[in-house]
Amino acid sequence: MAKKDLKQYVCQNCGAIYPKWQGKCDACGEWNTIQEETLSSEGFSNINAKHSSGKELDFVALSGAKEQIDRRSTGIAELDRVCGGGLVAGSVILVGGDPGIGKSTLLLQVCASVANSADKPEVYYISGEEAIDQVRIRAKRLGLENSPVNLASSTEIKDIITSLKKSDAAVVVIDSIQTMYLSDVDSTPGSVTQVRACSYELIKLAKKKGFTLFLVGHVTKQGEIAGPRVLEHMVDTVLYFEGERGHHFRILRSVKNRYGATDEIGVFEMQDKGLVEVANPSALFLAERQGNISGSCVFAGIEGSRPVLVEIQALVSQSGYSSPKRAVVGWDTNRLSMVLAVLEARCGINLSSQDVYLNIAGGLRITEPAADLAVALAVISSLSNKPLPADMVVFGEIGLSGEIRAVSQPSLRLKEAKKLGFTSAITPTNRASEKKLSEDINLHQIGNVQRLINLFN
């Protein structure tokens, strides 16, 4: 049969497929993202081409699961925790992040650390972005040049698959999936079809041979992993490596994990000798806090399973604009607008002629609504120019009617605060679990934002 090429038009933003070219993608609404891609009759479509009749499956019972999944420690505790307790054999981990954030550095450190473990596993680091010498220079800088890591520079998936098939690999790193190329697929590296086809081949091999596969993925301007969303569905774990430019802290966050909890974070600090784990992030985030300054409030947050204390800074100043400015770093702008609106409507605080700037110190991004109360207090403190007590932490969600709602795990938050020497806390009212701690830490439980004003009188 003559080889028949299939043409299709794929949105490079969302992966939607069209039979004809069009200017705008109906699925995601983006313009000029649709490109022609060709699938040869072999290659990507061989997924179902060869077994037309199919073979029978062996069905089994639900019982009989292993008590515990075998996990391999990477020797980097922060990464182990984010992965749910270590690397699972045959699992695939996608690591996304902005360019220059430290993905290659982290994974090289992981490779070296695993390669040096007692059972001497085979570890492969395949770079499609950097030449061998570049990786070697980095390894030297990190002091890892003597680790038994197998290094290669390649972008050809077929070569990589052939080499790995022969190996007894335990961990494989592909840096990055957007540079990889499968010659059967006639589109450029980084295109949706290539990324999908290359990942498919690699993942299939990882499952078959039982090695842990790390795929590095670039992110788009919107902060999503470039290429189709399907890539996130194909892998077991998705980790994002984030951090503000100009800060040393790097946060590894799990957004999907088939083998553990999500929203878990690992905290690292980028130093001149690579990434160093931060075992006690609260102490670090609060290290540069200056006491007795208005507009500063310590929020007792939870990231994944771990309590983290961070300083929330607000600056309220007379606006020179007709519509006042609201600028936020590290939190949700809409959430700030909501908190400000509640303060205006329920407490009679006038902010309509004031610019409000909000900053989460240290470069952490907070997503919890539990930070509402701390934000409100920081804003009122800045507006009234009265500092909050330096030894006080705050948490609580604010509702539209001004009520303060309970949040999850209050005792864990208070315990962390106590550990770091805080002596008082403003929290939502009545939660049985908080009572136990109330002797150690001075609790002010409040039910409504109107009560906040009294605190400043």
Q: Which residues bind ligand TYD (CB under 6 A)?
A: 97, 99-105, 138, 141-142, 270, 272-274
Which one, of 315, 92, 344, 338, lies nearest residue 201 by Cα? 92
Residue 63 near residue 212 (C-beta atoms within 8 A): no
In this complex, which beta carbon is closest to Mg ion, that of residue 220 or of residue 317?
220
Question: Residue 99 CA to chain centroid, in angstroms?
Answer: 14
In this complex, which beta carbon is closest to Mg ion, that of residue 127 or of residue 187?
127
Q: How far is the CB of 216 from ligand TYD (least distance, A)?
A: 7
What is the rounded CA–CA span in Å between residue 179 and residue 96?
Answer: 14
Q: How far is the CB of 100 from Mg ion (least distance, A)?
A: 8
Q: How far is the CB of 88 from ligand TYD (least distance, A)?
A: 24
Q: How far is the CB of 330 from Mg ion (least distance, A)?
A: 24
Instruction: Strand 17-18: give its sheet, edge to edge.
Output: 17-18, 6-11, 34-39, 185-186
Joined tokens for residue 38: 């060709």
In this complex, which beta carbon is closest to ligand TYD, that of residue 103 or of residue 413?
103
Q: How far is the CB of 355 from Mg ion (least distance, A)?
A: 38
What is the rounded CA–CA span in Å between residue 98 and residue 90?
Answer: 26
Beta strands in 111-155 (DSSP E): 122-127, 150-153
Q: How far is the CB of 216 from Mg ion (least distance, A)?
A: 7
In this complex, which beta carbon is closest to Mg ion, that of residue 125 or of residue 285?
125
Q: How far is the CB of 270 from ligand TYD (least distance, A)?
A: 5
Residue 274 interacting entry, from Mg ion, ligand TYD, none, C-beta within 5 to 8 Å by type: ligand TYD
Joined tokens for residue 117: 């473990």
Residue 100 interacting entry, from ligand TYD, Mg ion, none, C-beta within 5 to 8 Å by type: ligand TYD
Using CA atoms, how far residue 338 sits from 302, 372, 379, 396, 449, in Å, is 21, 9, 13, 14, 13
Residue 272 interacting entry, from Mg ion, ligand TYD, none, C-beta within 5 to 8 Å by type: ligand TYD
In this complex, which beta carbon is closest to ligand TYD, that of residue 30 or of residue 269?
269
Window 93 to 112, contacts with Mg ion (CB under 5 A): 104
In this complex, which beta carbon is closest to ligand TYD, that of residue 158 or of residue 273?
273
Using CA atoms, how far residue 236 sits from 53, 117, 221, in Å, is 29, 24, 24
Size of site (CB under 5 A) for Mg ion:
1
Residue 72 interacting entry, from Mg ion, ligand TYD, none, C-beta within 5 to 8 Å by type: none
Residue 254 interacting entry, from ligand TYD, Mg ion, none, C-beta within 5 to 8 Å by type: none
**SS percent in the chain: helix, strand, coil, step 5:** 30, 30, 40
Using CA atoms, how far residue 342 sits from 129, 219, 283, in Å, is 50, 35, 32
Q: Which amino acid is at 329?
A: V
What is the rounded CA–CA span in Å between residue 108 and residue 139?
Answer: 7
In this complex, which beta carbon is closest to ligand TYD, that of residue 101 or of residue 375?
101
In this complex, which beta carbon is closest to ligand TYD, that of residue 144 or of residue 182?
144
Residue 141 interacting entry, from Mg ion, ligand TYD, none, C-beta within 5 to 8 Å by type: ligand TYD
Using CA atoms, how far residue 260 sits from 5, 152, 201, 441, in Å, is 42, 31, 25, 33
Instruction: Burial-class residue 23 by CB neighbours within 10 Å (0-12, 13-18, 19+).
Output: exposed
In this complex, which beta carbon is closest to Mg ion, that of residue 104 or of residue 147?
104
Residue 23 interacting entry, from Mg ion, ligand TYD, none, C-beta within 5 to 8 Å by type: none
Using CA atoms, how far residue 321 sits from 318, 326, 355, in Å, is 9, 11, 9
Q: How far is the CB of 126 from ligand TYD (least distance, A)?
A: 14
Residue 270 interacting entry, from ligand TYD, Mg ion, none, C-beta within 5 to 8 Å by type: ligand TYD
Q: How far is the CB of 105 from ligand TYD (least distance, A)?
A: 3
Using CB under 5 A, list all residues that contact Mg ion: 104
